[in-house]
Amino acid sequence: MSEAIVYLNGEFLPLSEAKVPVLDRGFIFGDGVYEVIPAYSGRLFRIDEHLQRLQNSLDAVRIRNPYSNAEWLQVLTGLLKKNPAEDSSIYLQVTRGVAKRDHAFPANVTPTVFAMANPLVTTDEKTFNQGVAAITRDDSRWQHCNVKAITLLANILLRQSAIDAGAAEAILIRNDDVTEGAASNVFIVSKGVIKTPPKSALLLPGITRDLIVELAQSHKLPIEEVTFSKDALLAADEIWISSSTKEIMPVVKLDGKSVGNGQPGPVARKLFGIFQDYKRELKAIGR
Protein backbone atom coordinates (compact mmCIF):
# COMPACT_ATOMS: atom_id res chain seq x y z
CA MET A 1 0.00 0.00 0.00
CA SER A 2 1.32 3.42 -0.90
CA GLU A 3 2.08 5.85 1.88
CA ALA A 4 -0.75 8.01 3.21
CA ILE A 5 -0.78 11.64 2.14
CA VAL A 6 -1.54 14.01 4.99
CA TYR A 7 -2.15 17.74 5.26
CA LEU A 8 0.05 20.00 7.35
CA ASN A 9 -0.05 23.81 7.39
CA GLY A 10 -0.99 24.38 3.76
CA GLU A 11 0.78 21.39 2.21
CA PHE A 12 -0.14 17.85 1.21
CA LEU A 13 2.79 15.52 1.90
CA PRO A 14 3.63 11.88 2.69
CA LEU A 15 2.96 10.98 6.32
CA SER A 16 6.63 10.24 7.00
CA GLU A 17 7.58 13.76 5.91
CA ALA A 18 5.01 15.56 8.07
CA LYS A 19 6.90 17.07 11.04
CA VAL A 20 5.83 19.43 13.81
CA PRO A 21 8.31 21.39 15.98
CA VAL A 22 8.63 20.08 19.54
CA LEU A 23 7.55 23.43 20.95
CA ASP A 24 4.15 23.11 19.31
CA ARG A 25 1.66 23.75 22.11
CA GLY A 26 -0.25 20.65 21.05
CA PHE A 27 2.82 18.58 21.97
CA ILE A 28 3.76 20.57 25.09
CA PHE A 29 0.32 21.29 26.60
CA GLY A 30 -2.29 19.38 24.56
CA ASP A 31 -3.42 22.91 23.65
CA GLY A 32 -5.68 22.25 20.69
CA VAL A 33 -8.95 20.86 19.41
CA TYR A 34 -9.91 18.20 16.87
CA GLU A 35 -12.65 16.63 14.80
CA VAL A 36 -13.28 13.14 13.42
CA ILE A 37 -15.41 13.26 10.26
CA PRO A 38 -16.61 10.19 8.36
CA ALA A 39 -16.70 10.18 4.57
CA TYR A 40 -18.84 7.58 2.81
CA SER A 41 -18.01 6.87 -0.86
CA GLY A 42 -15.78 9.95 -0.85
CA ARG A 43 -18.48 12.26 0.54
CA LEU A 44 -18.06 14.09 3.82
CA PHE A 45 -20.84 13.17 6.25
CA ARG A 46 -22.67 15.98 8.06
CA ILE A 47 -19.81 18.33 7.24
CA ASP A 48 -21.66 21.54 8.19
CA GLU A 49 -22.34 20.11 11.64
CA HIS A 50 -18.71 19.01 12.07
CA LEU A 51 -17.35 22.39 10.97
CA GLN A 52 -19.77 24.16 13.33
CA ARG A 53 -18.63 21.98 16.23
CA LEU A 54 -14.99 22.72 15.28
CA GLN A 55 -15.79 26.44 15.40
CA ASN A 56 -17.46 26.03 18.81
CA SER A 57 -14.42 24.15 20.17
CA LEU A 58 -12.01 26.79 18.78
CA ASP A 59 -14.11 29.60 20.27
CA ALA A 60 -14.24 27.85 23.65
CA VAL A 61 -10.42 27.68 23.88
CA ARG A 62 -9.86 31.02 22.10
CA ILE A 63 -7.93 29.74 19.10
CA ARG A 64 -8.65 31.65 15.90
CA ASN A 65 -10.12 29.48 13.15
CA PRO A 66 -7.33 29.55 10.56
CA TYR A 67 -9.66 28.72 7.63
CA SER A 68 -13.05 29.62 6.24
CA ASN A 69 -15.48 26.73 5.74
CA ALA A 70 -14.74 26.85 2.00
CA GLU A 71 -11.02 26.46 2.73
CA TRP A 72 -11.69 23.56 5.12
CA LEU A 73 -13.74 21.88 2.42
CA GLN A 74 -10.88 22.24 -0.04
CA VAL A 75 -8.43 20.69 2.42
CA LEU A 76 -10.71 17.80 3.35
CA THR A 77 -11.87 16.93 -0.15
CA GLY A 78 -8.24 17.19 -1.30
CA LEU A 79 -7.25 14.66 1.36
CA LEU A 80 -9.99 12.27 0.26
CA LYS A 81 -8.88 12.52 -3.37
CA LYS A 82 -5.28 11.78 -2.44
CA ASN A 83 -6.23 8.83 -0.21
CA PRO A 84 -8.92 6.95 -2.16
CA ALA A 85 -10.95 4.48 -0.09
CA GLU A 86 -14.55 3.32 -0.07
CA ASP A 87 -15.21 4.88 3.35
CA SER A 88 -12.80 7.07 5.32
CA SER A 89 -12.57 8.88 8.59
CA ILE A 90 -10.82 12.20 8.59
CA TYR A 91 -8.96 13.30 11.68
CA LEU A 92 -8.13 16.99 11.85
CA GLN A 93 -6.58 19.02 14.61
CA VAL A 94 -5.79 22.66 15.20
CA THR A 95 -3.33 23.62 17.92
CA ARG A 96 -2.52 27.09 19.21
CA GLY A 97 0.84 26.91 17.43
CA VAL A 98 4.56 26.93 18.18
CA ALA A 99 5.91 29.17 20.99
CA LYS A 100 8.33 29.25 23.92
CA ARG A 101 6.78 27.20 26.74
CA ASP A 102 4.60 29.43 28.88
CA HIS A 103 1.09 28.64 30.08
CA ALA A 104 -0.25 32.05 29.04
CA PHE A 105 -1.30 32.46 25.40
CA PRO A 106 1.60 33.52 23.16
CA ALA A 107 1.16 36.69 21.09
CA ASN A 108 1.01 36.56 17.27
CA VAL A 109 1.22 32.83 16.91
CA THR A 110 -0.06 30.91 13.87
CA PRO A 111 -2.25 27.87 14.63
CA THR A 112 -0.90 24.51 13.47
CA VAL A 113 -3.29 22.58 11.23
CA PHE A 114 -2.93 18.86 10.66
CA ALA A 115 -5.35 16.47 8.94
CA MET A 116 -5.23 12.85 7.79
CA ALA A 117 -7.66 10.38 6.23
CA ASN A 118 -7.80 6.77 7.38
CA PRO A 119 -9.83 3.91 5.90
CA LEU A 120 -13.04 3.54 7.89
CA VAL A 121 -14.36 0.08 8.61
CA THR A 122 -18.03 0.72 9.31
CA THR A 123 -20.13 -1.44 11.60
CA ASP A 124 -21.62 -4.23 9.49
CA GLU A 125 -24.47 -6.53 10.46
CA LYS A 126 -22.12 -9.18 11.87
CA THR A 127 -20.23 -6.72 14.10
CA PHE A 128 -23.53 -5.18 15.18
CA ASN A 129 -24.91 -8.61 16.10
CA GLN A 130 -21.92 -9.33 18.32
CA GLY A 131 -22.24 -6.07 20.23
CA VAL A 132 -19.62 -5.11 22.79
CA ALA A 133 -19.03 -5.27 26.53
CA ALA A 134 -18.74 -2.08 28.59
CA ILE A 135 -17.92 -1.17 32.15
CA THR A 136 -19.00 1.78 34.29
CA ARG A 137 -16.42 4.20 35.68
CA ASP A 138 -16.47 7.50 37.56
CA ASP A 139 -16.19 10.35 35.08
CA SER A 140 -12.78 11.75 36.03
CA ARG A 141 -12.66 14.38 33.26
CA TRP A 142 -12.80 18.17 33.45
CA GLN A 143 -15.96 20.32 33.29
CA HIS A 144 -15.70 21.26 29.59
CA CYS A 145 -16.36 17.92 27.91
CA ASN A 146 -18.41 19.68 25.21
CA VAL A 147 -15.09 20.97 23.82
CA LYS A 148 -13.45 18.45 21.50
CA ALA A 149 -10.01 19.05 23.00
CA ILE A 150 -6.97 16.99 22.01
CA THR A 151 -6.14 16.82 25.73
CA LEU A 152 -7.52 13.30 26.16
CA LEU A 153 -5.48 11.77 28.98
CA ALA A 154 -8.52 11.08 31.19
CA ASN A 155 -10.42 9.56 28.24
CA ILE A 156 -7.43 7.39 27.35
CA LEU A 157 -7.07 6.08 30.92
CA LEU A 158 -10.80 5.35 31.10
CA ARG A 159 -10.83 3.56 27.73
CA GLN A 160 -7.76 1.55 28.75
CA SER A 161 -9.42 0.50 32.01
CA ALA A 162 -12.23 -0.90 29.85
CA ILE A 163 -9.76 -2.77 27.64
CA ASP A 164 -7.97 -4.11 30.74
CA ALA A 165 -11.33 -5.42 31.97
CA GLY A 166 -11.94 -7.21 28.64
CA ALA A 167 -14.52 -4.59 27.54
CA ALA A 168 -14.64 -2.13 24.65
CA GLU A 169 -15.86 1.06 26.32
CA ALA A 170 -16.16 2.76 29.70
CA ILE A 171 -19.52 4.39 30.36
CA LEU A 172 -18.97 7.37 32.60
CA ILE A 173 -20.91 8.37 35.71
CA ARG A 174 -20.75 11.84 37.27
CA ASN A 175 -22.61 12.43 40.55
CA ASP A 176 -24.60 9.25 39.93
CA ASP A 177 -25.73 10.39 36.44
CA VAL A 178 -24.59 8.86 33.14
CA THR A 179 -22.70 11.33 30.93
CA GLU A 180 -21.25 9.45 27.93
CA GLY A 181 -18.58 6.91 26.97
CA ALA A 182 -14.81 7.56 26.94
CA ALA A 183 -15.13 8.18 23.16
CA SER A 184 -18.85 7.79 22.44
CA ASN A 185 -22.33 8.92 23.45
CA VAL A 186 -24.70 6.63 25.32
CA PHE A 187 -28.34 5.65 24.76
CA ILE A 188 -30.59 3.36 26.77
CA VAL A 189 -34.05 1.94 26.18
CA SER A 190 -36.21 1.76 29.25
CA LYS A 191 -39.87 0.58 29.04
CA GLY A 192 -39.91 1.25 25.31
CA VAL A 193 -38.52 4.81 25.57
CA ILE A 194 -35.09 5.72 24.17
CA LYS A 195 -33.12 8.00 26.49
CA THR A 196 -29.87 9.87 26.03
CA PRO A 197 -28.41 12.51 28.35
CA PRO A 198 -29.18 16.11 27.32
CA LYS A 199 -26.38 18.23 25.86
CA SER A 200 -24.36 20.08 28.49
CA ALA A 201 -20.76 20.95 29.32
CA LEU A 202 -20.43 17.41 30.72
CA LEU A 203 -20.53 15.60 27.37
CA LEU A 204 -19.55 15.97 23.75
CA PRO A 205 -22.45 16.91 21.49
CA GLY A 206 -21.92 13.94 19.19
CA ILE A 207 -22.86 14.38 15.55
CA THR A 208 -23.97 10.73 15.45
CA ARG A 209 -25.98 11.27 18.66
CA ASP A 210 -27.83 14.20 17.08
CA LEU A 211 -28.55 12.18 13.95
CA ILE A 212 -29.92 9.27 16.00
CA VAL A 213 -32.21 11.68 17.88
CA GLU A 214 -33.38 13.14 14.55
CA LEU A 215 -33.94 9.72 12.96
CA ALA A 216 -35.81 8.39 16.01
CA GLN A 217 -38.08 11.44 15.98
CA SER A 218 -38.76 11.28 12.24
CA HIS A 219 -39.61 7.56 12.57
CA LYS A 220 -41.88 8.22 15.56
CA LEU A 221 -39.79 6.20 18.02
CA PRO A 222 -40.29 7.59 21.53
CA ILE A 223 -37.09 9.39 22.57
CA GLU A 224 -36.19 11.70 25.43
CA GLU A 225 -33.07 13.77 25.97
CA VAL A 226 -33.06 13.36 29.71
CA THR A 227 -30.66 12.80 32.59
CA PHE A 228 -30.65 9.23 33.93
CA SER A 229 -28.86 7.54 36.82
CA LYS A 230 -26.37 4.72 36.97
CA ASP A 231 -29.18 2.52 38.39
CA ALA A 232 -31.33 3.28 35.32
CA LEU A 233 -28.37 2.33 33.11
CA LEU A 234 -27.89 -0.95 34.98
CA ALA A 235 -31.62 -1.72 34.69
CA ALA A 236 -31.94 -0.74 31.00
CA ASP A 237 -33.54 -3.13 28.50
CA GLU A 238 -31.09 -1.98 25.84
CA ILE A 239 -27.91 0.09 25.75
CA TRP A 240 -25.90 1.33 22.80
CA ILE A 241 -23.05 3.71 22.19
CA SER A 242 -22.63 5.98 19.17
CA SER A 243 -19.77 7.73 17.42
CA SER A 244 -18.62 8.70 13.95
CA THR A 245 -16.43 5.61 13.71
CA LYS A 246 -18.68 3.09 15.55
CA GLU A 247 -22.03 4.47 14.31
CA ILE A 248 -24.48 2.49 16.50
CA MET A 249 -22.91 -0.26 18.60
CA PRO A 250 -25.02 -2.32 21.03
CA VAL A 251 -23.66 -2.89 24.54
CA VAL A 252 -24.65 -6.46 25.35
CA LYS A 253 -22.76 -6.80 28.62
CA LEU A 254 -22.29 -4.17 31.33
CA ASP A 255 -20.02 -4.65 34.34
CA GLY A 256 -19.97 -8.38 33.57
CA LYS A 257 -23.80 -8.80 33.45
CA SER A 258 -25.96 -9.31 30.35
CA VAL A 259 -27.94 -6.31 29.13
CA GLY A 260 -31.51 -7.52 28.42
CA ASN A 261 -31.15 -11.03 27.03
CA GLY A 262 -27.50 -10.45 26.14
CA GLN A 263 -28.27 -9.78 22.44
CA PRO A 264 -28.66 -6.46 20.61
CA GLY A 265 -32.22 -5.27 21.31
CA PRO A 266 -35.04 -4.57 18.84
CA VAL A 267 -34.87 -0.77 19.12
CA ALA A 268 -31.12 -0.66 18.46
CA ARG A 269 -31.64 -3.01 15.52
CA LYS A 270 -34.40 -0.84 14.09
CA LEU A 271 -32.28 2.32 14.40
CA PHE A 272 -29.27 0.55 12.90
CA GLY A 273 -31.41 -0.27 9.85
CA ILE A 274 -32.73 3.30 9.63
CA PHE A 275 -29.16 4.61 9.90
CA GLN A 276 -27.94 2.33 7.08
CA ASP A 277 -30.90 3.39 4.88
CA TYR A 278 -30.09 7.05 5.58
CA LYS A 279 -26.47 6.54 4.48
CA ARG A 280 -27.60 4.66 1.37
CA GLU A 281 -29.99 7.49 0.43
CA LEU A 282 -27.22 10.06 0.77
CA LYS A 283 -24.98 7.97 -1.49
CA ALA A 284 -27.80 7.59 -4.02
CA ILE A 285 -28.48 11.34 -4.23
CA GLY A 286 -24.75 12.04 -4.36
CA ARG A 287 -24.42 14.06 -1.14
Yes or no: say if 167 and 253 are a contact pair by the CB < 8 Å rule: yes
Beta bridge partners of 253: 133, 258
Contact range with ligand PDD by CB under 6 A, out of 121-129, 132-140, 237-245, 266-274: 237-245
DSSP tag of 159: H
Looking at the Cβ atoms of 49 and 224, the one nearer to ligand PDD is: 49
Q: Phi-psi bin for 46: left (phi > 0), alpha (psi -120 to 50), beta?
A: left
Looking at the Cβ atoms of 99 and 158, the one nearer to ligand PDD is: 158
State in angstroms the smallest separation of the CB of 243 from ligand PDD: 4
Does 180 bind ligand PDD (CB under 6 A)? Our answer is yes
Q: CA-CA distance, 130 to 223, in Å (whole number)? A: 24
State in angstroms the smallest separation of the CB of 172 from ligand PDD: 9
Beta bridge partners of 78: none
Does 183 bind ligand PDD (CB under 6 A)? Our answer is yes
Yes or no: say if 91 and 115 are a contact pair by the CB < 8 Å rule: yes
State in angstroms the smallest separation of the CB of 87 from ligand PDD: 14
Looking at the Cβ atoms of 50 and 269, the one nearer to ligand PDD is: 50
Set 148, 230, 246, 253: catalytic member:
148
Beta bridge partners of 13: 6
Yes or no: say if 102 and 31 are a contact pair by the CB < 8 Å rule: no
- By annotation, the residues acting in catalysis are 148
- Residues in contact with ligand PDD by the rule CB under 6 A: 36, 155, 180, 183-185, 204, 206-209, 242-245
